Amino acid sequence: RLDEVNAQVASAVNPDAPSSPMSILKTSLTKLLQEQAATQNALSKQQEARQAQFEKEVREALARIETRRTQDQRSTRGGLDFEDSVISFVRAATQGAPCVFDVTGATAGIGRCKKGDAVLRFTTESAFAGSGVVFEAKRDATYTVQKAIDELDVARKNRDAAAGVFVMARSHARNVFPRFARYGSNVLVVWE
């Protein structure tokens, strides 16, 4: 009997015997592990696909940004963006000062002339009450010192300003264009 019981116990714990409880447990665990591995594999492939799609979208977005930046460097749109940056900077720098800042680039001054992108006029609280400073922003490599001074002279007359500031984009300024210089009532600045 003992041998018979030993044989039954050995058969019950043998995972290779088809009808043993250990075989059923082994089959269940193997099936669960295979399903888990398949699920993990599928999730891993989905994650790889999402990551590849994300990387592709980032590369495309960066390429669009770089293309736009390159086009802006060659087009007038970049000059308008530079002008907006200069105007924003001057507006922020003079906020709270005894002056009024007006963007005038789109409006005609004397006659039909539109020279002068912005004008800063001092109010009665200022020692310079009534006088104005005209700003001209350019991102154009063709500008020389003399051409900038001439443009400021026209802009000062056009906007009835006592002084003028010509802001040249650093990216387009020639090596001989001064970083900061005063020529009478005109100031030339290189800024980015």
| CB 116 within 8 Å of CB 158 | yes
Q: Please tell me the pTM assigned to this model.
A: 0.59
Measured between alpha carbons, how far apart are the two ends of the chain, in Å?
Answer: 99
Residue 184's pLDDT is 92
Question: Within the chain, which residues score under 70 in pLDDT?
Answer: 70-79, 109, 111
Query: Which residues 6+ apart lie within 8 Å of 81 measured at CB?
Result: 72
pLDDT of residue 136: 92
Torsion of CA 142, 146, 148, 149, to 10 degrees: -170
Tens of pLDDT, residues 24-75: 888 889 899 999 999 999 999 999 999 999 999 999 999 888 877 766 666 5
Antiparallel, parallel or unpaired: β 163-169 and 118-122: unpaired
